[in-house]
């Protein structure tokens, strides 16, 4: 082992060893190469890692997928997928139990959850998917667990206010940062296929009913990143009612109601789209081929007068009603 390998390198190596999929192994190897100190002593190791990397990149991915079912792959459902992250007994399953009908295992002993369990949370007229997860510790991570976070829309760190908040925050951030899972600044990291690797995150601070005095303040002070913090107690229910609205806001999505020309709008099932979507994005979401034939749209909603004509690049707002006209 060459001298002068940094903690960053060992973190990436640990990630590589725990990686359950080829994609994740490739990302970890790329990270190992990127953070490796550049000097003569690391030449052999570098060549070795490059060989491993090109072997993995050439490996047929489909065969591997067919061999086993990945329990950490949680198919998306609803308007967005939020995945919980936290240390043992921090209260993750209790949140999913309180907000959804999913059958989760709440227990007074650690490691009670061993695989992801999705449930659906309703916010007004949209359904949001909330996924319970096994815990992580400074040295434990279920193989394949990273994959669930890699595929979600938003990560919710669950921090127990009655325990050591500094330790919990450290473990969560270490996990996220060492795997490039956290959006940092304006340009998120992307993989070779252009998939966005980094996610937005926020913090659910739980067990407020038995919190250490000043724990939330300490946590906010410790955390250099500008996360949103929502304080709750799954035991008393305090703050729980705020969570669905917070999920919706943090997912950064909008609801659009489609209106067939000459008929009332369908107000029961909105389309949900990323904030900033345009009339053309909506047309494409409804029907990719038809979208090219879009002539114009009429809008009822925010910042327009009722039935106003809108161009393809008009940016939509939450709860807009749109009538699309095709040629
Ligand atoms: N007083 C209090 N206890 C809570 C609260 N939330 C959870 N608990 C208790 O904390 C313990 C652990 O809760 P879980 O929800 O199972 O924790 P977890 O994060 O899913 O644990 P793992 O699956 O092991 O990672 C249980 O005994 C819960 O009843 C809370 O808000 N207040
Ligand atoms: Mg659990």
Beta carbon of 10 within 6 Å of any ligand 1 atom? no
Report d(CA 230, CA 247) in Å as an integer.
10
- What spacing in Å lies between the alpha carbon of 93 and ligand 2's midpoint? 4
- What spacing in Å lies between the alpha carbon of 50 and ligand 2's midpoint? 38
Pairing of strands 154-160, 81-85: parallel
The pLDDT score that the predictor gives to residue 21 is 81
The pLDDT score that the predictor gives to residue 14 is 85
The pLDDT score that the predictor gives to residue 94 is 98
The length of the chain is 327
Q: CA nearest 315: which of 266, 279, 268, 274?
A: 279
For residue 199, the 8-state DSSP code is B
**Residue bearing tokens 């993995």:** 56
Beta carbon of 110 within 6 Å of any ligand 1 atom? yes
The pLDDT score that the predictor gives to residue 77 is 94
The pLDDT score that the predictor gives to residue 214 is 95
pTM: 0.86
- Please give the number of the atom of ligand 1 that sits closest to the Cα of 111: 24
CA-closest residue to ligand 1 atom 21:
89
- What spacing in Å lies between the alpha carbon of 235 and ligand 1's midpoint? 9
The pLDDT score that the predictor gives to residue 40 is 84
Question: Which SS3 state, helix, strand or coil, does residue 314 take?
Answer: coil
Mutate to test the pocket of ligand 1, among 109, 216, 234 (most ligand atoms within 8 A of CB): 234
Beta carbon of 277 within 6 Å of any ligand 1 atom? no
CA-closest residue to ligand 1 atom 27:
108
Beta carbon of 210 within 6 Å of any ligand 1 atom? yes
Provide the residue-wise pLDDT of the chain in tens; the chain has 327 residues.
Answer: 666 888 889 888 988 887 878 888 898 899 899 989 888 888 999 999 999 999 998 877 655 555 567 899 999 999 999 999 999 999 999 999 999 999 999 999 999 999 999 999 999 999 999 999 999 999 888 888 999 999 999 999 999 999 999 999 999 999 998 888 998 766 666 666 666 678 999 999 999 999 999 999 999 999 987 899 999 999 999 999 999 999 999 999 999 998 888 888 888 889 999 999 999 999 998 888 778 888 889 999 888 888 888 889 999 999 999 999 888
pLDDT per residue as tens digits for the range 159-184 = 999 999 999 999 999 999 888 899 87
The pLDDT score that the predictor gives to residue 65 is 54
Sheet of strand 271-274, all strands in order from the earlier edge strand to the far edge: 271-274, 253-258, 320-326, 294-300, 308-310
- Please give the number of the atom of ligand 1 that sits closest to the Cα of 95: 15
The pLDDT score that the predictor gives to residue 23 is 84
């Amino acid at each position: 082992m060459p001298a002068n390998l940094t903690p960053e390198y060992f973190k990436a190596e640990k990630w590589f060893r725990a990686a359950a999929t080829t994609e994740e192994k490739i990302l970890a190897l790329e990270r190992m190469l990127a953070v490796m100190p550049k000097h003569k002593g690391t030449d052999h190791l570098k060549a070795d890692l490059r060989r491993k990397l090109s072997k993995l990149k050439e490996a047929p991915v489909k065969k591997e997928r067919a061999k086993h079912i990945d329990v950490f792959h949680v198919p998306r459902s609803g308007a967005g997928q939020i995945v919980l992250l936290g240390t043992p007994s921090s209260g993750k399953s209790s949140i999913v139990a309180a907000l959804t009908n999913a059958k989760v295992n709440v227990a007074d002993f650690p490691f009670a959850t061993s695989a992801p369990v999705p449930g659906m949370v309703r916010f007004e007229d949209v359904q949001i998917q909330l996924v319970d997860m096994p815990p992580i510790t400074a040295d434990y991570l279920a193989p394949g667990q990273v994959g669930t976070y890699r595929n979600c829309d938003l990560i919710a760190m669950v921090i127990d206010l009655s325990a050591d908040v500094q330790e919990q925050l450290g473990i969560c951030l270490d996990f996220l940062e060492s795997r490039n899972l956290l959006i940092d600044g304006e340009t998120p990291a992307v993989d070779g296929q252009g998939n966005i690797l980094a996610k937005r995150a926020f913090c659910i601070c739980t067990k407020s009913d038995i919190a250490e005095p000043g724990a939330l303040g300490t946590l906010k002070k410790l955390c250099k990143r500008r996360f949103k913090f929502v304080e709750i107690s799954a035991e008393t229910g305090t703050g729980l009612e705020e969570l669905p609205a917070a999920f919706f806001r943090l997912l950064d999505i909008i609801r659009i109601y489609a209106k067939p020309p000459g008929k009332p709008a369908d107000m029961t099932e909105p389309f949900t789209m990323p904030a900033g979507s345009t009339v053309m994005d909506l047309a494409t979401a409804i029907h990719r081929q038809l979208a090219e034939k879009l002539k114009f749209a009429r809008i009822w909603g925010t910042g327009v007068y009722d039935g106003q004509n809108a161009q393809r690049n008009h940016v939509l707002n939450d709860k807009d009603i749109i009538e699309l006209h095709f040629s």
